[in-house]
Structure 1
Amino acid sequence: MTDDDEALATALLIEGFPAKPADIWAAFFRRLRILGTNGPADVPFGYLMDTAGITTGVMMTPATLRDRPDGSKGTVINLSSWYVQPPERWRAGRMLQAVLKKHDAMFTDLTPTDEVRAMLPAFGFEAINAGVVVSLLPVAAVLPAGGARVRSMLPGDAALPDATRTILEAHVRAGCLAFVLEGDGPAMPLLFRKRTLKGVPAAKLIYCPDLARFQAALPAVARGLMTSGVGVLISDDTSAPLRTGQLKRSRGLKFVRSGAGFAPVPNVTDHTASELALLDL
C-alpha cells in the first residue's frame, strides 16, 4: 500500500466495517503519520489484495521497531482492520500468509473476529490473555494506595528514559494519555487510549512494563485517570487476582506470533503502535 492507495483502502474499510463511523479511517491514517513508526520499521501502512486486477481485500499493518533483550532492534507488526470481500474470502488465508512472509517480525492481532480467531493458531499465533478486566475507577479510587501516586507525563519528562519518553510523546500527539507512576519503585510510564463503554467515559491500557506493580497501585491509577474524566478502565486479563471494583469479561482475546527475536513477555502490556493505540474502538 502506498499513499496513492489510501482512498481505495478507505473505501474497502468503510465497506468492511459499516458499524464504524466513516471518518474513523481518515483519523487512523492521520495518526499513523503522526506516530511515524512504520517508516523506520520499513513496513507500509497496510496491504491490499487484488483479484484479476480488482482490489478485493485490505489489511492495515501499524508497525514499530522495539529493542530486543540483547539491545538490538527488531520489528513488531500489528495486523489490523482486515477485510476481504465475501466472494474472495476463501483467499483470506493466502493473504495472511503472504503478509507474514513479507517481514521478519513478531506479529500481533489484537481485535480478531471469531472467524479470524479460529484460523490464527494454524499460522503460529497464540493467545496472550484470557479476556479483559474492567475496573470501576470510582470504586478503586477509595482504596488505600500505599506510597503510590500517579501524575501526567510532562513534556521532556526527565523521570523516564529518553527512548521510552519519545515513543510515549508520539502516542500523546496521536491522542493517547500518558502518566507516570511514582513511589514504591522507580518512575514507571503508563499509556492509555480514551474511549466510551456503553456511554461511560473509559480508557484502555496500552502500555505498562510491570502489571503486578500496576495492579498494586490501582487506587492511585484510578485517581489519576479520573482527573482526565475517565470512569472505567479496560485492561488485559492475565489471571492476576482481582481487586475491589474489578470484574472479568471473557472477550477481547489478543494473539501474538513470535518472531524476530521477540516473544510475549509475562507481566507486561505493550500495545504501542497498534490499532488499540490509534483507533477509537
Structure 2
Amino acid sequence: MRCRQIADADLDPVAHLLTRGFGARRSLAFWRCALASLKGRSTPADMPRYGYLLENDGVPVGVILLIFSATPGGGALRANVSSWYVEPAFRSYAALLVSQALKRRDVTYTNISPAHHTWPILEAQGYQRFSNGVFVAVPALHRGRHGRVLSADTVPDAPFESFERELLVDHGEYGCISFWCATADRAHPFVFRPRLVNGVIPCAQLIYCRELADVVTFAGAIARRLARRGLSFAIIDANGPIAGLTGRYFADRMPKYFRGPMRPRAARRGVREREPR
C-alpha cells in the first residue's frame, strides 16, 4: 500500500475509480472530461497537477483531486480539494491519503462544495468555515449605480488590475457570465456561473468580484446583464444578510471551508478551483 501523486498514465483508472465512488451522480465521461481539463490547465511549479492516489499492488483504490493555484500578486498557494473517494475495503487507509494531500503548511486548502455528511470530517481535519451560508438576492429590486457594462474581453478605459481581465476571459471560456461594470474611476469585474437550483430553477452564482459592496453598487446593471440570460436572482456566498440587497440569507447552505495560513474571502474564487462541471 502506498500513496503517490497521480500521473498522466493513471487518468483512466482514476476516472473509473471516481465513477464507482460517485455512482449515478457523475458519469465516466464526466470524470474523463474533468481530468482532461486538469491536464490542460497551468499549475504552480512543483505542485501536483491532479492530486494523489492510494495504490494497492499497483491498482488505484483511493483518490483525492487537488486543484492548485497561486493568488495574483503575492503568489500565495491555494489548493481546492475537489473530489475524493476510497474503496470500502481500504477505508482504514483513508487517513494516509488525506495526510499526504494536506501535508504542506504553506498552502491554504479549501473545500468549497462539501457534501453535508462530510462537514464533521472536515472540522476534525482542522478545516474552518470562511462562508457559513448563501444570500439569495434579487438584484433587479435594487437600482444601484449606473455603470457601463463591458464584455469580458474589452480593455476598459478606466483603471483595473491586469489579472482580472485574464480571469474574466478565462471564465467566459468555461461558460461563465463575465463582464465589467465601468465608471470613470474604475472598472469592476464580475463573474457569475449559471446553474440550476434543485435541477430546475435557473439562477446565477457569484464566483468573483473585487468587493461584495460592488454587487450592491451595480445591482441594476448586474440585473440587466443576467436578465439577458433569463436569470432573475443570484446566489452569493455570505455570512449573513447583505445590506442594500433585497433577498434572503440561508445559514448552513453551501458552506465553504479552508485550512491553512490565509483565510479566503467570499466571492473571490473561480471555477478553475473546483471540479469542472
Whether TM exceeds 0.5 here: the answer is yes
Aligned to 1:154: 153
Deviates more, 1:77-86 or 1:184-193: 184-193
TM-score (norm 2): 0.84
Alignment of 1:121-200 (within 5 A): 121-136=123-138, 140-156=139-155, 159=158, 160-183=160-183, 186-198=186-198, 199-200=200-201
Deviates more, 1:161-170 or 1:37-46: 37-46
Is the 8 Å Cα contact of residues 207 and 272 (structure 1) preserved in structure 2?
no
Aligned to 1:239: 240
Deviates more, 1:8-17 or 1:167-176: 167-176
C-alpha distance in 2 between matches for 1:212 and 1:41: 36
C-alpha distance in 1 between matches for 2:209 and 2:46: 22
C-alpha distance in 2 between matches for 1:268 and 1:235: 7
Could you tell me how far 1:52 is from its partner in structure 2?
A: 4.4
Richer in strand (by share):
2
State the AA in 2 paired with 1:37: S
Deviates more, 1:78-87 or 1:216-225: 216-225
State the AA in 2 paired with 1:165: R
Quick one: structure 1 residues 224 and 65, their matched pair in 2 at CA, closer, same or farther if it must change by over 3 Å? same
Matched, 1:44 2:28: no
Tell me which stretches of 4 or more aligned residues in structure 1 moved more than 4 Å.
155-159
- Give % identity: 27
TM-score (norm 1): 0.83
State the AA in 2 paired with 1:27: C
Question: What is the DSSP-based 3-state SS (H/G/I as helix, E as strand, rest coil) of the residue aligned with 1:279?
Answer: coil
Quick one: structure 1 residues 273 and 41, their matched pair in 2 at CA, closer, same or farther if it must change by over 3 Å? farther
Quick one: structure 1 residues 76 and 269, their matched pair in 2 at CA, closer, same or farther if it must change by over 3 Å? same
Deviates more, 1:4-13 or 1:162-171: 162-171
Could you tell me how far 1:144 is from its partner in structure 2?
A: 1.7
State the AA in 2 paired with 1:235: I
Question: What is the DSSP-based 3-state SS (H/G/I as helix, E as strand, rest coil) of the residue aligned with 1:81?
Answer: strand
Size of the aligned set, in residue pairs, is 268
Alignment of 1:1-281 (within 5 A): 1-22=6-27, 23-34=29-40, 36-38=41-43, 40=45, 42-67=47-72, 71-102=73-104, 104-136=106-138, 140-156=139-155, 159=158, 160-183=160-183, 186-198=186-198, 199-241=200-242, 243-248=245-250, 250-259=252-261, 262-265=262-265, 269-275=268-274, 278-280=275-277
Deviations 1:105-133 (A, max 9, x none): 11101112234321223333110112112
Two-structure CA RMSD over aligned residues (Å): 2.6
C-alpha distance in 2 between matches for 1:2 and 1:158: 44
Unmatched segments (≥5 aa) in structure 2 = 1-5
Is the 8 Å Cα contact of residues 135 and 242 (structure 2) preserved in structure 1?
no
Unmatched segments (≥5 aa) in structure 1 = none
